[in-house]
Amino acid sequence: MTSPSAPAPAVRSTVADVTLFFALAIGLCFAFSIPMVFRLVPEDLNNLITPIMQMTPLIAAVIMWLVRRPGTFRATFATGWRGATAWAGIGIGLIAAIAAVQTLIAVATGIWPLNPVDQILAASIWIVPVFVMQSVFAIGEEFGWRGWLATRAASWGFWRLATVSGLVWIVWHLPVLAVIGDRPFWDIVIYFAGMLPWAPLLLALRWRSGSVWPAVLTHGAINSVRVYLLQSVPDATDHLLIEVIGWVLTLAAAAWLMRPSRARLVTRP
């Protein structure tokens, strides 16, 4: 007879699948990073290796899907477009608004000066091309973290899944240490800690829309629109207060999207 306190088979199966997915994604990422980490190839090739590493969550998720086959690829990875455009707009808008608030506070308080206007304008022409490129690169990550994983571990609940996946996402990013240079320890801690608040926001967009595409495009905006507003508009330096403001606003945005009166998991294909 099964003990009342023992986990149900379905729960054990979910934990096993998610653990295996995490192990595959991290293991593949670390394996592909070996030439970069150990300086086995010229540094110029890092720009080729990094997009390959970004594909590892998708590769891991496809392996899990092929093994388990819980449903169609479209349903499991939430690749439907219906309603995705509006939610992508919300996600990109939130990214821009949060970064703009950070910059305004930093400039208003004298923490950061503005860059010359001609430099700001010159950088602006790259926003759209970089956004498109970063969104394409983000497919590999988001189809894994917010595609397969968000479907397979939906029973965990929003905040639990966001927290666990966010922590694993940080571990998955550890090979970045090989390319960010010699930086103070606390700068590295802040750099990695800054990734954690993005997981709830991206997951909220995935769950509210029922599509992985808002997470993909918002991820692209994090690496393009946000970078422009925080690095091209001001002459920015690392500053803990400005970082914390961004973390708080990002978590608040995720909580707002998932507020009980409106939030629901949409499973349409």
* 104 CB-near residues (< 8 Å, 6+ apart): none
Does 8 score more than 60 pLDDT? no
Coil, helix or strand at residue 114: strand
- Per-residue pLDDT band for 184 (boundaries 50, 70, 90) equals confident
- The pLDDT, as a whole number, for residue 122 is 98
Q: What is the CA radius of gyration of the chain?
A: 19
- The pLDDT, as a whole number, for residue 6 is 40
- Per-residue pLDDT band for 7 (boundaries 50, 70, 90) equals very low
Mean pLDDT of 130-141: 98
Mean pLDDT of 40-56: 93
- Which amino acid would we find at residue 104? L
Q: What span, in angstroms and rounded, lies between the C-alpha atoms of 222 and 256?
A: 19
- The pLDDT, as a whole number, for residue 260 is 80
What share of the chain has pLDDT > 90, as a percent? 81
- Per-residue pLDDT band for 180 (boundaries 50, 70, 90) equals confident
Does 173 score more than 50 pLDDT? yes
- Maximum C-alpha span of the chain: 74
- The pLDDT, as a whole number, for residue 204 is 98
- The pLDDT, as a whole number, for residue 2 is 39
Helix, strand, coil in percent for the chain, rounding step 5: 75, 0, 25
Residue spans of the domains in the chain: they are: 9-257
What share of the chain has pLDDT > 70, as a percent? 93
Structural element, H or E, at residue 253: helix 240-257
Decide: 59 and 32 in contact? Cβ < 8 Å. Answer: no
- The pLDDT, as a whole number, for residue 9 is 56
